[in-house]
């Protein structure tokens, strides 16, 4: 079975995770896919297949004779789709011999256009898989699951020599804590790879350093008719806090290695207000400076309006995995060599976001990210080409066989 055929099957299983839910998995429906995958792994011939109480799904291929001394390599992809756009009743659309032009997405009224997605012409002649415009496709990250499963199937069917291979499909990546409960001792891998987004020639070795900044602003409410020199309007103070941050360092004005402050939520009254930001930067020193800017604003506001007016909480989310991958360069070198065997030159692109691989790397499993061939994730314009998925399968096979 080709990888894209598996993607179409998996995409129809509703697995959206949920935000602000203090359990794993955040949605029970993720078990529907994890149990399906466990059954499929057993039918393919993987061993020690296991679904734990948190929906982590494990399977293993023992080393073939003569390859027992090769390092064990792990592969991971996530079960869930994004919480904030529908992943239910997904109806994948297959466009064979795609002409490279605009694609009408079912009867949704949406159109996948070359104007908005200028890389589309590069997919001309391929088998393009899209949504019907009403849901996500779920290629993020069911394409990764499909590619890992297809690679395992071919290793077994084609009797390819290989060291021990460990597979884990995990929940809740989109909710921000997909790798937290992965059993690394069970995996027993020397290093691993997440397979989650990007083109087939891409290896992601860097992520942002990331934290969340939560502001509580306390005002003093009094009748406006007698408010002079007394009222402190918490909502206006919150607006002042935001105005003290550099306007050019917002996500909509940054790219590449440029970091940012991103206001994600705000609400308030005269008496109380709240601001929530995410802070991102690839460079550790610049990241620390961004957090210090927030602290300086807190100090300034409390000096201006009185102690306790503003309370800042900084919560670390993840760190740049580059520092950990530098300790195990073999992981990146294998991926680069695999891509070159397919006649492509590997591209090392920084992820302007996070990956389960970042947390895994800091937990002790060095874990760069491989591409799946997917495009325009997290929305109704998500699409992928079957041939690019085939190439990603080949990358996985070459990594294992190196």
Give ranges for CATH 3.40.630.10 in the chain: 3-206+320-401
Question: How many alpha carbons lie under 13 Å from residue 130 in its C-beta half-sphere?
Answer: 22
- What the block records as the tokens of 364 is 């002790």
- What the block records as the tokens of 263 is 């206001």
The answer to whether residues 129 and 386 touch, using CB atoms and an 8 Å cutoff, is: yes
Spot the catalytic one: 80, 132, 147, 172: 80
Query: What's the pTM?
Result: 0.88
**Architecture of domain 209-318 in this structure:** 2-Layer Sandwich (3.30)
Query: What CA–CA distance (Å, rounded) separates 58 from 166?
Result: 7
Task: Report whether CATH 3.30.420.40 matches the domain 3-206+320-401.
Answer: no
pLDDT confidence of 352, banded at 50, 70, 90?
confident
Secondary structure of residue 274 in the 3-state scheme: strand
Percent of the chain with pLDDT over 90: 91
Question: CA 388, 254, 314, 209: dihedral to nearest 10 degrees?
Answer: 50
What pLDDT score does 135 carry?
Answer: 96
> Cis bond leading into 62, ω under 30°?
no
Give ranges for CATH 3.30.70.360 in the chain: 209-318
- What the block records as the tokens of 350 is 């920084």
- Per the annotation, the verdict on 356 as an active-site residue is no
DSSP secondary structure of 26-48: SSTTHHHHHHHHHHHHHHHT-EE
pLDDT confidence of 254, banded at 50, 70, 90?
very high
pLDDT confidence of 238, banded at 50, 70, 90?
very high
**pLDDT tens-digit readout, 25-36:** 999 999 999 999
Spot the catalytic one: 141, 153, 173, 336: 173
**pLDDT tens-digit readout, 376-393:** 999 999 999 999 999 999
pLDDT confidence of 84, banded at 50, 70, 90?
confident
* Sheet of 128-130, strands arranged across: 93-95, 128-130, 383-385, 374-375
- Per the annotation, the verdict on 80 as an active-site residue is yes
Alpha-carbon distances, residue 123 vs 106, 177, 199, 340 (angstroms): 20, 33, 12, 20
**Res 176 pLDDT > 90:** no
- Taking each continuous run of H as one helix and of E as one strand, the counts in the chain are 10, 18
């Amino acid at each position: 079975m080709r990888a894209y055929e598996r993607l179409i099957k998996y995409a129809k299983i509703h697995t959206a995770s949920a935000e602000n839910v203090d359990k794993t998995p955040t949605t029970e429906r993720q078990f529907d896919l994890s149990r399906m995958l466990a059954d499929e792994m057993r039918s393919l011939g993987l061993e020690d297949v296991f679904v734990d109480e948190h929906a982590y799904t494990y399977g293993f291929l023992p080393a073939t004779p003569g390859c027992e001394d090769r390092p064990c390599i792990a592969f991971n992809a996530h079960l869930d789709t994004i919480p904030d756009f529908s992943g239910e009743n997904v109806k994948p659309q297959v466009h064979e011999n795609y002409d490279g032009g605009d694609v009408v997405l079912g009867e949704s009224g949406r159109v996948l256009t070359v104007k908005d997605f200028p890389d589309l012409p590069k997919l001309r002649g391929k088998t393009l898989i899209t949504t019907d415009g009403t849901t996500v496709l779920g290629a993020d990250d069911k394409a990764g699951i499909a590619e890992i499963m297809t690679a395992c199937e071919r290793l077994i069917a084609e009797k390819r020599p290989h060291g021990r291979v460990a597979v884990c499909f995990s929940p809740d990546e989109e909710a921000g804590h997909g790798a937290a409960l992965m059993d690394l001792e069970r995996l027993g891998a020397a290093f691993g790879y997440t397979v989650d987004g990007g083109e087939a020639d891409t290896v992601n070795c860097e992520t942002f350093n990331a934290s969340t900044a939560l502001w509580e602003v306390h005002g003093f409410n009094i009748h406006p008719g007698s408010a002079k020199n007394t009222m402190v309007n918490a909502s206006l103070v919150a607006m002042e806090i935001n105005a003290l941050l550099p306007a050019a360092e917002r996500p909509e004005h940054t790219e590449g290695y440029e970091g940012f402050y991103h206001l994600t939520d705000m609400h308030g009254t005269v008496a109380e207000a709240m601001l929530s930001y995410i802070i991102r930067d690839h460079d550790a020193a610049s990241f620390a400076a961004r957090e210090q800017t927030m602290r300086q604003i807190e100090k300034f506001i409390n000096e201006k309006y009185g102690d306790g007016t503003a309370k800042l909480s900084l919560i670390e989310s993840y760190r740049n995995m580059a520092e950990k991958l530098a300790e195990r360069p073999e992981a990146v070198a294998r991926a680069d060599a695999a891509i070159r065997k397919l006649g492509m030159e590997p591209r090392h692109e920084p992820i302007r976001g996070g990956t389960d691989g970042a947390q895994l790397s800091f937990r002790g499993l060095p874990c760069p990210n491989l591409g799946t061939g997917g495009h325009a994730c997290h929305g109704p314009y998500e699409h992928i080409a079957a041939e690019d998925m085939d190439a990603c399968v080949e990358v996985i096979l070459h990594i294992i066989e190196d």
